[in-house]
Amino acid sequence: MGRFLMLALVMLALAVSPISGLAQTSDIVKQKSEAAFKEYVKAGNFLAGEARYNEAAESYRKAISMNPNSAEVYSLLGSALAQTGKDREAEEALRKAISLKPNFGEGYYHLGLFLKSKGKEREAEEAFRKAKQFQR
């Protein structure tokens, strides 16, 4: 009986240690992914600051591929696309931002700026009203 118990404990230890190793690997992958996401956003912001909007948009798209639920990055993407004249894509990205985060005041503000630039005054005013409502 003692041998059976010892064998069971050894098997349990062997079974648990790979799981522990996988958990550590998973944590490392998650940390690296988060770091890469932040770097893509940072690069996009730098490129947008240099008026290199096509490259900024590409960097924001890479960030979104890593975190498709980032309202903030969709808003940045929409603003960059608006600067390149890709109006349909810009509006889609800006609307996606506020659909992901309905209380995103900054997102409504950027949508309002875009709509106003396209002569959509009534829609722009509604976006600005919501931006003010949700500002922090």
pLDDT score for 30: 86
pLDDT confidence of residue 101 = 97
Cα(111)–Cα(115) distance, rounded to whole angstroms? 6
**Domain spans in the chain, listed from the N-terminal domain onward:** 34-134
Answer yes or no: are the C-beta atoms of 93 and 81 closer than 8 Å. Answer: yes
CATH topology of domain 34-134: 1.25.40
- Give the Cα separation of 110 and 28 in Å (integer): 35
Q: What is the DSSP letter of 83?
A: H
Ranges of residues in the chain with a pLDDT under 50 are none
Q: Is the dihedral of CA 66, 71, 76, 81 positive or negative?
A: positive
Q: What is the pLDDT of residue 6?
A: 61
Structure tokens that stand for 95 in this block: 């609307």
Instruction: Give tens-digit pLDDT for 33-48.
Output: 899 999 999 999 999 9
**Whole-prediction pTM:** 0.80
